Structure 1
Amino acid sequence: MAEFPFPGLNLALATPFDARGRLDLTRLESLIERYIASGIRGFVLSSGTGMHVYLSKEESKELVEQGSKIINGRAKVIVQTSALLVEEVVDRTKHAAECGADGVMVLPPFFEGPTDEEDIFAFYAEASKGGLPIIGYNVPHAVGIEITPSLLSKLSEIPNFCTAKDSSGDLGKQASLIRTRLPIMNGADPLVPYALFAGAAGLIWGGANIAPKSCAAVVEAAQAGDWHLVRERWRALEPIMSLIWQGDYVQSVYAASKITGFDAGKPRRPLNALPPKKMIALRMALGELKKAEKV
């Protein structure tokens, strides 16, 4: 079996916006440089945390072009190329390949899309014509389709389909995917150390925008097999990772990242900045992470 291409921590980058809600490419460069200096060796551009569905196709392509150019081979680049039309997925994927991306993340067909496994297989088989390794996206509460162990096994027959990111938040179901012995990536922030212990092949982690050094340290300890150290390093992260998963996820990541020094601006409408009442709980959950994240 070929070596898994996306091990460890892949940060689902929060797309930076300026005060008028436009892409802020100057801030993009600053953020990427600081994340690389903090130990990040994989990025997801136009991620869910980065408000993919609220970027135009042209904006997403510009983000991918500039982000890939800034990273310049110093870290892996995954691009979300999800779209309602599979032809657009292929187009976006080919563009990502032209920009030097290492792989793409693709939602199954959503918004009243098919739920039959054969149709989902056909969708990903067509999407694979974009030419890059595909990470399927298991987020059943959002799209109404669950990637089960049997479906994962079928999808893995597609040459470019390399893994699935599980954002279900259900460790038991993720463990059942891992037991297929096919590589699985965890996408549920509160489950990080438990998913790594269960055998997840890698992480796509939106909350790592907030505390990249601390998150990278957890993964480093897990890769060394030092589970006592994992538990110790996770202790500081656990409150904030649990809190953001309870609701207002994107808004919370943007707000918390600003506090720790990784300011991506405000999330784009229709999302609003986190209200003051929720900011109190957010600051409490962050604890000493602001001090720990100085680069």
Structure 2
Amino acid sequence: MTGPLFKGVITALITPFRDGKVDETAFCQLIERQISGGVHGVVPVGTTGESATVSVDEHKRIVELCVNTVAGRARVIAGAGASATDKAIDLVRHAKTVGADGALVVTPYYNRPSQEGLYAHFAAINDAVQLPVVLYNVPGRTGVDLADATTARLSKLPNVVGIKDATGDLGRISRQRLDCAEGFSLISGDDPSWLGYLAHGGHGVISVTSNVAPRAMADLYEATIAGNWDGARAVQDRLIGLHKALFMDSSPSPAKYVLAKLGLCSEEIRLPLVRCNDAAKPSIDAALAVAGVGE
């Protein structure tokens, strides 16, 4: 039996900025903190990395810098989604060229393709580049839902190795687990429900919260692997408020607020996003205290 290629805690990295430019020094330091915190992988320039507002040159530089900094110590799944299939192929090809372990490819957003269009999009990427691809289904952002039947069909393609499911619908994973190819990586994209996702047979999470609390997230995962579900729930109880607090304003502005509070980067964010609103900060601070972050 072939196990999943990607599993465990995989951090959807923020992209730190300073004076309008990518803060490469802070970015590398954040990656080091993730690795020392025990995460199993990182995703540069995903949604949390503000991929929508970085230039193509910045995007490619961030991926290359991430691969070089990680240096084989964890998996690197490069964000590589686009509304245009040709652009997505270019980003996946670049990820392969610089040595990423895989690419996270979101369903095309705004143009709302049919299920057949979605299949054709991912099949074209599969055929164009020999790099493991993780599908990314987040209909709340893209306006299109990758149906379970389409996911199962795509899982039979040789380079499509998993899915990040950010729907928060725990009923879907059982269907996908039963219908997708053997060894297909089932990854949650919803921090509040990922413990339940693991219980349903999932393999891990691509997480916003682990930007802030990598060690606690890794501890939760390791507890489940050891069969210590009581221990996992205890960690989840500490983190559940933080999972929610990090989305009290448009992500990743709350995460950047916390990381700035910890002295790890600037709060700077790119329009049309703005810095975390002051009204949310007391609740975020309270959630941090319960989670034990910064102690």
Give the shorter-chain TM-score range.
over 0.9
Aligned 1:7-46 pairs, distance under 5 A: 7-18=7-18, 20-46=19-45
Cα distance in 2 for partners of 1:152, 1:55 equals: 29
Amino acid at match of 1:287: A
Determine if contact 2:5/2:185 at 8 Å carries over to the other structure.
no
SS of 2:21 mapped into structure 1: coil
User: Which residue is 1:224 aligned to?
Assistant: 226
Determine if contact 1:79/1:96 at 8 Å carries over to the other structure.
yes
Cα distance in 2 for partners of 1:212, 1:147 equals: 29
**Structure 1 residues 160 and 123: alpha-carbon distance in aligned structure 2, compared to 1, 3 A threshold:** same
User: Which residue is 1:266 aligned to?
Assistant: 268
Question: Is structure 2 residue 94 aligned with structure 1 residue 95?
Answer: yes
Determine if contact 2:247/2:254 at 8 Å carries over to the other structure.
no
Unpaired runs of 5+ residues, structure 2, are: none
Cα distance in 2 for partners of 1:264, 1:172 equals: 39
User: Which residue is 1:284 aligned to?
Assistant: 286
Give CA deviations for 1:182-224 in whole Å, capped at 9, x if unaligned.
Answer: 4311000101211111111221111110111111111111111
Amino acid at match of 2:288: L
Determine if contact 1:213/1:293 at 8 Å carries over to the other structure.
no
- Aligned-residue sequence identity (percent) comes to 30
Unpaired runs of 5+ residues, structure 1, are: none
Report the Cα offset of residue 247 of structure 1.
4.5
Cα distance in 2 for partners of 1:178, 1:286 equals: 34
Report the Cα offset of residue 148 of structure 1.
2.3
Report the Cα offset of residue 163 of structure 1.
1.1
User: Which residue is 2:139 aligned to?
Assistant: 140
**Structure 1 residues 222 and 293: alpha-carbon distance in aligned structure 2, compared to 1, 3 A threshold:** farther
RMSD over aligned CA atoms reads: 1.7
Determine if contact 2:26/2:264 at 8 Å carries over to the other structure.
no
Question: Is structure 2 residue 117 aligned with structure 1 residue 119?
Answer: yes
Determine if contact 2:267/2:275 at 8 Å carries over to the other structure.
no
SS of 1:54 mapped into structure 2: coil
TM-score norm. by structure 2 comes to 0.93
SS of 2:141 mapped into structure 1: helix
Report the Cα offset of residue 293 of structure 1.
4.9
Report the Cα offset of residue 109 of structure 1.
2.1
**Structure 1 residues 264 and 196: alpha-carbon distance in aligned structure 2, compared to 1, 3 A threshold:** farther
Cα distance in 2 for partners of 1:143, 1:264 equals: 28
**Structure 1 residues 145 and 7: alpha-carbon distance in aligned structure 2, compared to 1, 3 A threshold:** same
Cα distance in 2 for partners of 1:245, 1:167 equals: 14
Q: 1:249 aligns with which of 248, 251, 264?
A: 251
Report the Cα offset of residue 262 of structure 1.
4.0
Amino acid at match of 2:10: N
SS of 2:3 mapped into structure 1: coil
Cα distance in 2 for partners of 1:96, 1:185 equals: 20
Cα distance in 2 for partners of 1:189, 1:241 equals: 6
Determine if contact 1:42/1:76 at 8 Å carries over to the other structure.
yes
Question: Is structure 2 residue 177 aligned with structure 1 residue 178?
Answer: yes
Aligned 1:43-54 pairs, distance under 5 A: 43-54=42-53
Amino acid at match of 1:228: D
TM-score norm. by structure 1 comes to 0.93
Aligned 1:203-242 pairs, distance under 5 A: 203-242=205-244
**Structure 1 residues 261 and 37: alpha-carbon distance in aligned structure 2, compared to 1, 3 A threshold:** farther
Determine if contact 1:45/1:63 at 8 Å carries over to the other structure.
yes
Report the Cα offset of residue 288 of structure 1.
4.2
Cα distance in 1 for partners of 2:97, 2:165 equals: 27
SS of 2:151 mapped into structure 1: helix
Give CA deviations for 1:221-240 in whole Å, capped at 9, x if unaligned.
Answer: 11111100001111111111
**Structure 1 residues 168 and 21: alpha-carbon distance in aligned structure 2, compared to 1, 3 A threshold:** same
Give CA deviations for 1:251-288 in whole Å, capped at 9, x if unaligned.
Answer: 11211233345435322222111111111111112124
User: Which residue is 1:167 aligned to?
Assistant: 166
Determine if contact 1:148/1:177 at 8 Å carries over to the other structure.
no
SS of 1:249 mapped into structure 2: coil
SS of 2:246 mapped into structure 1: helix
